[in-house]
Amino acid sequence: MMNKNDYCVIMAGGIGSRFWPFSRTSKPKQFLDILGTGKTLIQDTYNRCIKIIPNENIYIVSNKDYKNIILEQIPGIKESNIISEPLRRNTAPCIAYSNFKILSKNPQANIVVTPSDHLIVREEEFLTLVQKGLRFVEKNNALLTLGIKPSRPETGYGYIQTNSETPKNISDQNFYTVKTFTEKPDFEMAKVFFESGEFYWNSGIFFWSLPSIMEAFEKFLPDVQSLFAEGYYNTEREISFIQDIYPRCESISIDYGIMEKAKNVFVLKADFGWSDLGTWGSMYEHSNKDNNDNAINGDAAFLYDVRNCIVNVPKSKIAVIQGLKDYIIVDSENVLLICKKQDEQKIRDFMNDVKLKKGDKYI
């Protein structure tokens, strides 16, 4: 039986620039079928959440430009449960906004906050952990995050270092306090983190009770909190109020604004097959591959002596590719990208150059 005090906030406002040109400002990666499964990433996320969270308690926070896409892809969600941001202001403001929306409905809410575009391989394990996390924050004044056991020295994720023992007042041995948060390291440091056994990947999945997170905002982000506290939530005045305050709101992440400063932060250690699917490389890792280790989306590509490549071309176009190894080949709408896999971090630079010289219609 579902707990009526359990809520889920799905963050879906990013533009997925590292997946350009497949991901565009008009339709970012969370609204795309990145892995060729027949479902978009946000559909997968919503379908997971609805198994343990009442439908009326699931909120999706996104840019106002994506509201119609959300309604189209998630027909089960009520329009009033889509929280539309007029501007992008990072994760702390979007969480503050959702806090006040939920506060007007249920001051005793227990909340899980999750990105919309992550891959979860072992779903049942994940859902069990989510329920465990919600019960933990219900009983403790704690801010909780899922820490993913690293499988390699990854430079694309932030890391959390945990203390070696569970606090004596916590009965469950899977919960640990945080020693340090660390931004994305270089390879040598990532190797040290991986080998130490003390560091976990920062999943960006959070849990808290509404009273606990409201208290944290008041302490660490009082300016953000006070802006949203003036609101008229779930009334006709909400839209105009939000349009007025967002330009005045600091753009700051929940990690930097609160999680790295608070003393009551816990980590629930986890290993359920997770990826944030943040890059073409991470997509390649989780994709089905042909006999030459090519990850191919679609059946319109004819490959000759091609190995270890990512190939993404539309069904309406035949692509004949010969003699490439370790490349990303993406043909999407009005842009063709051919880039070495090892240089994929340059894709944002390529995109910015195109925008500067050719305009937004290619972005």
Q: Are 117 and 239 in the same domain?
A: yes
Residues 143 and 270 in one domain: yes
Q: Supply the pLDDT for residue 31.
A: 96
Sign of CA dihedral 288, 293, 295, 300: negative
Residues 214 and 297 in one domain: no
Do 224 and 312 have their domain in common?
Answer: no
Q: Please check whether residues 336 and 196 belong to one and the same domain.
A: no
Hey, what amino acid is at 283? M
Q: In the prediction, which pLDDT does 34 show?
A: 87
Q: Residue 228 sits in which domain range? A: 6-280
Residue 32 lies in a domain: yes
28 and 176 assigned to the same domain: yes
Shared domain check, 303 and 226: no
End-of-domain residue from the set 234, 260, 280: 280
- pLDDT tens figures, 44-69: 999 999 999 999 999 999 999 999 99
Which of 251, 280, 309 corresponds to the end of one domain? 280
- 344 and 213 part of one domain: no
Asked, as a colleague might, if the bond just before 21 is cis with ω within 30 of 0, I would say yes
Give the 3-state DSSP-derived string for the chain, with helices as H, strands as E and coil as C.
Answer: CCCCCEEEEEECCCCCHHHCCCCECCECHHHCCCCCCCCCHHHHHHHHHCCCCCHHHEEEEEEHHHHHHHHHHCCCCCHHHEEEECCCCCHHHHHHHHHHHHHCCCCCCEEEEEECCCEECCHHHHHHHHHHHHHHHHHCCCEEEEEECCCCCCCCCCEEEECCCCCCCCCCCCEEEEEEEECCCCHHHHHHHHHHCCEEEEEEEEEEEHHHHHHHHHHHCHHHHHHHHCCCCCCCCHHHHHHHHHHHCCCCCHHHHHHCCCCCEEEEEECCCEECCCCHHHHHHCCCCCCCCCEEECCCEEEECCECCEEECCCCCCEEEECCECEEEEEECCEEEEEEHHHHHHHHHHHHHHHHHHCHHHC
Considering the domain boundaries, does residue 208 fall inside one? yes
Low-confidence ranges of the chain (pLDDT < 50): none
User: Do 214 and 300 sit in the same domain of this protein?
Assistant: no
pLDDT tens digits for range 72-102? 999 999 999 999 999 999 999 999 999 999 9
**Listed residues 214, 248, 280: the one ending a domain:** 280
1 assigned to some structural domain: no
Would you say residue 123 lies in a domain? yes
What is the pLDDT at residue 163? 84
Residue 257 domain-assigned (yes or no): yes
Within a domain: 176:
yes
In this prediction, residue 300 carries a pLDDT of 86
CA 257 – CA 251 distance, rounded (Å) = 10
CA pair distance 24, 36, nearest whole angstrom: 17
Please indicate, yes or no, whether residues 117 and 214 belong to a single structural domain of this protein. Answer: yes
* 350 and 228 within one domain: no
Instruction: Identify the pLDDT of residue 168.
Output: 60
| Assigned domain for 191 exists | yes
Do residue 68 and residue 99 come from a single domain?
yes
Please report the pLDDT score of residue 170 as a whole number.
67
Give the model's pLDDT for residue 171.
Answer: 60
Q: Looking at the 3D structure of the chain, how many domains does it have?
A: 2
Q: Give residue 279's pLDDT.
A: 84
Say which CATH number the domain at 216 has: 3.90.550.10
Q: Which two tokens stand for residue 36?
A: 């060729």
